[in-house]
Amino acid sequence: MSHTELQQDPDAAINEPRLWRDRGWTAQVIKNEDDEGWAVAMYKAGESEPALVGPWTMGRDKKNPKPLDVNAFNTLVKTASEVIRRHEQAEYARLHKELQLQTEAGDNLRICLDIVPDDDEPYALLSAEDASGERLAELRVAVHFKLSTASAAAWVESGFERAR
């Protein structure tokens, strides 16, 4: 059964030796393309690419894969969920930078740079918030703008004018 066929009824639970689906996840045991062994691919519902692909244990006959079971499936779901979470955290860290800045008047500001990854024209938004979270300013800047204490201080001191 192909992954496309599996997506046709994504809510139906399946509990087969090489295919297990439940709670929005599908585990599919596949022939390992690199050697004679087996691998398992974990798909999150609605995704065409696997979130995780890893080696799978051979069965007792040393030819066929060990059948999936509830414990293995639960472990695979946990592992694949952690992989996705780490990927999302890394992507957020790549696209979002922030720092705290204290003005000469003693105000604490949070300065953020959020990159908007557009295929045609990526850009970034530079913003400033006061200690209560009120947005004081927002400015569209080049995607390569470097947020630093010095660049943030210069922007604040200019009255939130065009950042350099």
Total number of domains constituting the chain: 2
107 in the same domain as 90 = no
13 in the same domain as 65 = yes
121 in the same domain as 46 = no
The residues, ordered by sequence, that sit 6+ positions from 3 with a Cβ below 8 Å of its Cβ are 26, 28, 43, 48
As a whole number, the mean pLDDT across the chain is 90
- pLDDT band at 164, cuts 50/70/90? low
9 in the same domain as 60 = yes
12 in the same domain as 81 = yes
144 in the same domain as 89 = no
Q: What is the pLDDT of residue 162?
A: 75
In a domain, 16, yes or no: yes
Q: What is the pLDDT of residue 9?
A: 63
- pLDDT band at 8, cuts 50/70/90? low
The residues, ordered by sequence, that sit 6+ positions from 22 with a Cβ below 8 Å of its Cβ are 13, 14, 15, 73
107 in the same domain as 76 = no
90 in the same domain as 73 = yes
Q: What is the pLDDT of residue 157?
A: 92
Q: Which domain holds residue 133?
A: 103-157
Q: What is the pLDDT of residue 63?
A: 86
115 in the same domain as 82 = no
In a domain, 162, yes or no: no
117 in the same domain as 72 = no
Among residues 94, 115, 139, which one ends one of the domains?
94
Q: What is the pLDDT of residue 156?
A: 94
Secondary structure letter of residue 88 according to DSSP? H
In a domain, 163, yes or no: no
Q: What is the pLDDT of residue 36?
A: 77
Q: Give residue for tokens 């999150």.
A: 44
112-129 pLDDT, tens digit each: 999 999 889 999 999 999
Q: Give residue for tokens 């599908």.
A: 26
88 in the same domain as 8 = yes
